[in-house]
Amino acid sequence: MAQTMPKEGKFELIKLPYAENALEPVISQETVSLHHGKHLQTYVTNLNNALTGTPLEGASLEEVVMKSQGGVLNNAGQTLNHNMYFMQLCAPCDDNMPSGKIAEAIDRDFGSFEAFKKEFTQKGTTLFGSGWVWLSADKDGKLVITQESNAGNPIRSGLRPLMCFDVWEHAYYVDYRNRRAEHIDNIWKIIDWKVVERRMEHGN
């Protein structure tokens, strides 16, 4: 995974590679505007404020997530998680099925894409409270699915995160109200598997 370095000691809100309305009807423009422009911006701002004057000021985002605790970790984790989340979505998606090496790895470690999708969806719908569900690779390259509460990120467990679904209510409540399962079912339509494969192969 590429190191996300601050500029002049400060992290910046990522720029989306698509228009705010490009993910409709899966995710509305209103949700993208609030989720990216308000929620993520707040995490970035709070993280910069919390890091000022500390030994981690100027460190990569990944290093901050690995070494911090408490409020710093919450804001650093949420910044990293959201960066990965927004950059893995595609609009439009001509082919949102995995292919190539990522498809081979999924078949190898889960038996089939459908089996993988079923397990990933189940872990996303059953995660209690706020958090994330992740596809990651372990040190041997084996793919694993994990549930992470709140701002958790698999890198703190020695894993390489490849793909995530955000199951905080702010990710879906405008569009789906309390229907988390419906939200998760629709997100599969806009996953950019080329990004997931690149993270698996090159770490960025």
- Buried-state track 30-44, b at ≥16 Cβ within 10 A, e below 16: ebbebbbeebbeebb
Class of domain 29-87: mainly alpha
**% of the chain exceeding 70 in pLDDT:** 98
Per-residue pLDDT band at 3 (split at 50, 70, 90): low
Euclidean distance between CA atoms 197 and 194, whole angstroms = 5
Query: Per-domain residue ranges for the chain?
Result: 29-87, 100-202
Euclidean distance between CA atoms 2 and 70, whole angstroms = 24
Per-residue pLDDT band at 94 (split at 50, 70, 90): confident
pLDDT of the residue at 2:
52
| Structure tokens that stand for 74 in this block | 């919450």
Q: Which residue from 185, 43, 192, 195 is spatially nearest to 117, judged by alpha carbons?
A: 185
Q: Which CATH number is correct for 100-202, 3.40.50.720, 3.10.20.30, 3.40.50.1950, 3.55.40.20? A: 3.55.40.20
